[in-house]
Amino acid sequence: MKSTLMTPDRIVAAVRQQQQRFQRLSDATLRDHTDELRRLRKSQHRHNRSISSGWQRWKRPDAAEPMIEAHGLMAEALRRTTGKLYYDVQLQAGWILAAGSIAEMQTGEGKTITTGLPAFWQALAGRGCHVSTVNDYLARRDFETLQPTFELLGVGVGRIDSEMSLAEKRQAYRCEVTYGPGFEFGFDFLRDQIALRSAPRPRLGMRHLAHLRGQSIDKPHSLIGRPLACAVIDEADSVLIDEANTPLILSGQEHAMRQASSDPEAYRVADILAQELQPEEDFSLDPVDRKISFTPTGWFRIHEHFAKANPLRLARAWSCYVENALRARQIFRRDVDYVVRDGEIQIVDQNTGRIHPERSWRNGLHQAVQTKERVAVVPEQQTQARITRQRFIGQYDSICGLTGTAQAAARELKDFYRLSVVSVPTHRPCHRFGLPSRHFSNLQTKHASIVAEIRARHANGGPMLVGTRTIAESRTLSAALHNCGIPHRTLNGIQDEAEADLIAIAGQPGAITIATNMAGRGTDIALTDASRARGGLHVIATEHHPCARVDRQLIGRAARQGDPGSYQFFVSAEDEIFQHAPQLAESISARCSGAPEAQHDFSTEIARLQNDLENQAYQRRTQLTRADQWLDRVLETVAKEAV
């Protein structure tokens, strides 16, 4: 018997047919069709029919029919408001997302308008849909792109950001579709948990009486959002995996806590002592795990120094202040872990290379770094609420997401989030090719070779993107190019309109752009015909990231949408990744044997190292999840015993 399952080709053909039918209808009639679908979706929810129960379910024609109509409506509304038409691969990806899976969609394939398809479908259920991006700028850009499309169909759409008032946020959350950065959705959830925790509890029996009377006991009016129903997550692997080890922490300063805060002089005294302590004699340093351990001699010196110092008001043990000061001096590096900007310490996200002014380290570490850099020391922030990212994402009834590098993380996405990964073909064939990696014994030789390569390629007039792992390295290369008189642009780690404009013109003939790996991510690098004729964008990767997916995201900036493009890695035995494999670093140095460059390809060994590091990171995230589950069981037991 011939299968009647909805294959990707059948799905696309059916959506196209619906769109053609809708082309003959007025805007008002399109809204009428939206209202009919909205009633159907709400009815499905009332009867406990799953809103998105997996990719396989939506392959059945009987289940697929309403979604086909919804996607046809969205496609026609997009055409009327923007003049754009969905590619077949975008319709396929939208279907995968609406079915509750992860779509692996390559960079440059038009993710912004693709997210509109699942957002519209989920919004029809009437419970709200969050479209989560990695920062404020991308949320605003995507919102402004699709706002007219949603509004034509009568769907309310809003946006949140970190600068909005609570009243503005409440209004945005009441919309059927809400755009915003993922971390802000999480922080608003924590704010609501604090409000619920602070609200007076109803007296015993009041809920039962209200139920008998057909009434309800309202939740506090101070709540910002509403129950978490559905999230469409952009850059899903980065959000769900790379940032999973970093919990969302809401901090603040309460009056009672300020009374017990540390004396600012304590940080200065600890910093002076940290500069006097000697490695090995007073402390040992583990650069891989970024840990410091005191020797018996070190412990004696710490307490002896404290006994002789003037009385200090402390919020924790004195040894913690000294350890923080040592970490600030010995481990945390300027323009790598943080930058100093406008008299403030601003943290650099090690996964993305982006700068986050709103973040701060806890337990006095931020103040230790401020003391080291001689900037104003601000009072410590007190943790008011926190939640792991896995736990927060688990609060949603359904999630889906898209990214260009999902298959490598398919096991973890399945284990932690029960999400399947479905790959989507590119709209046009990919013409990206890689040049052999080059390996050097030290950073100085590597940087000199990168500058020489840039100089040679610049003479040909092709555009180049130089991707660095740290801001410090981008500044080093920028200074070297400046000394050679080679014009270029350097991007910092804050993504805003200015950075997006710069990255968008990085495909012009002769353009040289130096940026951290993730700078400008989400913005297409458009090529001119002249750039295509010169081979397209060439990406120079100055260092391997511990996570191979980040490397693939960087080289994916080249050769988008059928354009030509190329990439090449430059590797030094002194690169940070080799702190995890010193023997491999020694092998690279030995192969150079006095020559500036090794005549051997270490790509296989580096790929094996990255795989080992990713497995270690997976184990850490697994342990974090198990600890969270254990805490859940403990709290549940305590709650039962309290009844």
Could you tell me if residue 564 is inside a domain? yes
Query: Which pLDDT value is given to residue 56?
Result: 54
Domain count, the chain: 3
109 in a known ligand binding site: yes
pLDDT of 292 higher than 70:
yes
Query: Which pLDDT value is given to residue 524?
Result: 76
CA dist 164 and 290 (Å) reads: 37
């394939």: which residue's tokens? 109
CATH code, domain carrying 416: 3.40.50.300
Same domain, 414 and 472: no
Average pLDDT value for the chain: 88
Same domain, 449 and 557: yes
pLDDT of 194 higher than 80:
yes
Same domain, 78 and 19: yes
Could you tell me if residue 631 is inside a domain? no
CA dist 425 and 89 (Å) reads: 6
SS3 (DSSP) at 102: strand
pLDDT of 308 higher than 90:
no
Confidence of residue 359 (pLDDT cuts 50, 70, 90): confident
The tens digit of pLDDT for each residue in 90-116 reads 999 999 999 999 999 988 889 999 999
Same domain, 33 and 169: yes
Same domain, 394 and 375: no
111 in a known ligand binding site: yes
Q: How many residues does the chain have?
A: 643
Query: Which pLDDT value is given to residue 167?
Result: 93
Give Dmax over CA atoms of the chain in angstroms.
Answer: 89
1: tokens are: 């018997």
Same domain, 369 and 406: no
36 in a known ligand binding site: no
* CB burial string 4-13: b at 16+ within 10 A, e below: eebebeebbe
Same domain, 45 and 91: yes
CATH code, domain carrying 363: 3.90.1440.10
Residue 54 vs residues 398, 463, 508: alpha-carbon distances, Å:
10, 43, 43
Query: Which pLDDT value is given to residue 355?
Result: 81
pLDDT of 587 higher than 50:
yes
CA dist 239 and 401 (Å) reads: 10
Q: What DSSP string describes 526-595? A: PPPHHHHHTTSEEEEE-S--SSHHHHHHHHTTSS-TT-EEEEEEEEETTSGGGGG-HHHHHHHHHHHTTS
Determine the structural domain holding residue 532 and report its residue range.
431-606
Same domain, 345 and 320: yes
Q: What is the pTM of this model?
A: 0.87
Tell me if 100 sits within 8 A of 57, measured CB to CB: no
CA dist 312 and 276 (Å) reads: 20
Find, among 318, 299, 320, the residue nearest to 309 by Cα: 318
Confidence of residue 259 (pLDDT cuts 50, 70, 90): very low
Contacts of 482 (CB under 8 A, 6+ apart): 488
Query: Which pLDDT value is given to residue 494?
Result: 60
Contacts of 347 (CB under 8 A, 6+ apart): 337, 338, 355, 356, 359, 360, 361
Could you tell me if residue 626 is inside a domain? no
Query: Which pLDDT value is given to residue 52?
Result: 47
Residues 611-631, mean pLDDT to the nearest whole number: 85
Confidence of residue 201 (pLDDT cuts 50, 70, 90): low
* Weakest-pLDDT range from 115-119, 358-362, 363-367, 560-564: 358-362
SS3 (DSSP) at 271: helix
Same domain, 262 and 353: yes
């080799």: which residue's tokens? 578
Tell me if 414 sits within 8 A of 241, measured CB to CB: no
CA dist 401 and 237 (Å) reads: 8
147 in a known ligand binding site: no
Query: Which pLDDT value is given to residue 623?
Result: 84
pLDDT of 146 higher than 80:
yes
Could you tell me if residue 76 is inside a domain? yes
Same domain, 144 and 197: yes
- The percent of the chain in helix, strand and coil, each rounded to the nearest 5, is 50, 15, 35
Tell me if 519 sits within 8 A of 470, measured CB to CB: no
Query: Which pLDDT value is given to residue 433?
Result: 94
Choose the most confident range, by mean pLDDT, from 379-388, 497-506, 511-520, 622-631. Answer: 379-388
Query: Which pLDDT value is given to residue 257?
Result: 46
2 in a known ligand binding site: no
Same domain, 330 and 400: no
Could you tell me if residue 635 is inside a domain? no
Tell me if 124 sits within 8 A of 37, measured CB to CB: yes
The tens digit of pLDDT for each residue in 324-357 reads 999 999 999 999 999 999 899 999 887 777 788 8
Could you tell me if residue 618 is inside a domain? no
493: tokens are: 């780690």
Secondary structure E strands in 73-176: 102-104, 129-133, 157-159
* Cross-strand bridge partners of residue 466: 514, 540
Query: Which pLDDT value is given to residue 496?
Result: 61
Beta strand 398-403 with 230-234: parallel, antiparallel or unpaired? Answer: parallel
CA dist 163 and 136 (Å) reads: 9
Which one is predicted more confidently, 633 or 364? 364
Query: Which pLDDT value is given to residue 628?
Result: 73
CA dist 35 and 318 (Å) reads: 64
The tens digit of pLDDT for each residue in 112-139 reads 999 999 999 999 999 999 999 988 888 9
Could you tell me if residue 443 is inside a domain? yes
Find, among 69, 87, 91, the residue nearest to 25 by Cα: 69
Could you tell me if residue 264 is inside a domain? yes
Query: Which pLDDT value is given to residue 258?
Result: 46
pLDDT of 284 higher than 60:
yes
CA dist 385 and 381 (Å) reads: 12
Same domain, 195 and 244: yes
pLDDT of 513 higher than 90:
yes
